[in-house]
Chain A
Amino acid sequence: MSSINDNLFGLHTQALDMWQKRSEVLASNLANADTPGYLARDVDFKKALASASGTGSNLPMTITQQGQIDPQAQAAKKLAYRTPTQPSMDGNTVDTQVEQANFAANGVHYQASLSFITAQIHMLRTAITGGQG
């Protein structure tokens, strides 16, 4: 994301990106609910967002030279494996109910981030037009 976006909308542009990634992972889990040996995965959202935005206790790593690995992009893609609640015979660790609940919650979070950005846009519009528009 560009720095202009970051200044205007703060964390929410990054958060939106993360929610998108996560919904992708959860959709993959749901699609592979019957695939033997498939291991369910998820994004550690708090950790990923903290390392992407540098709001955690550690300072974020930055790129000083072209060609270096982007630590922020890497952090966003770090996936963890889910601990299965019930082991299954074929080695599949997808619990459809858990995935569905997560997917639904993820969608709501996504919408929340969208609303925050929309509210920010409204506020800026009010500031620009002086409440006339």
Chain B
Amino acid sequence: MSLFKIFDVAGSGMAAQSLRLNTVASNLANADSVSGTPEGAYRAKEPLFAAVQKAIGSAKSADADSAVGVQVKGVTESQADVQAHYEPGNPMADATGYVYGSNVNPIDELVNMITASRSYQNNVEAMNTTKQLMLKTLDLGK
């Protein structure tokens, strides 16, 4: 039944959004991390999404057109500048007395979190509706 493909598609969407939520959590948790070198400072992680054609259980290539899932291509790191703080008393401070904080922008992360959770909900709703339609189809003729 072709409705089954929706579970794969919505499932891939949920997986992608939950990974996005994961990176947000890790970014927020590390917002105040410091390092002794600019290279060692925590940089905000951002997932990269791509559409992927799903040809599940169909030999015809034209059929693959309709179901398009989401693929996480990888996680990139933000290239924004890290902030240097003058904290000579910090045990992590370098020779000049600076420590290097993360380049996480908490507002960006919160916005990302809300978007990810809404998108996740959309996929769950699509799955729920599909499940109900499938159950109704099973009751056909009763």
A26, A31, A77, A111 — which one has the most chain B CB atoms within 10 A of its CB? A31
Contacts of A23 in B (CB 8 A): 3, 6, 129-130, 133
**Interface residue? A88 (CB, 8 A):** no
Contact B3 A35 (CB under 8 A): no
A17, A28, A77, A79 — which one has the most chain B CB atoms within 10 A of its CB? A28
**Interface residue? B63 (CB, 8 A):** yes
**Interface residue? B96 (CB, 8 A):** no
Contact B62 A30 (CB under 8 A): no
Residue of B whose beta carbon sits closest to that of A115? B136
Give chain A interface residues in 1-50, CB to chain B under 8 Å: 17, 20-21, 23-28, 30-38, 41
- A32 with B51, Cβ < 8 A, contacts A27-B9, A77-B62, A110-B133 known: yes
Contact A31 B69 (CB under 8 A): yes
A interface residues (Cβ-Cβ under 8 A, vs B)? 17, 20-21, 23-28, 30-38, 41, 73-74, 77, 79, 96, 100, 103-104, 107, 110-111, 114, 117-118, 121
Supplied contacts A25-B66, A34-B16, A96-B119, 7 more A-B pairs, CB within 8 Å: A27-B67, A32-B13, A35-B49, A35-B70, A96-B122, A100-B122, A111-B133
Some 24 contacts from A to B, beta carbons below 8 A apart, are A20-B3, A23-B130, A24-B5, A24-B66, A25-B66, A25-B67, A27-B10, A27-B126, A27-B130, A31-B9, A31-B68, A31-B126, A33-B13, A33-B122, A34-B16, A34-B49, A38-B68, A73-B60, A77-B60, A77-B62, A96-B119, A96-B122, A103-B126, A114-B140
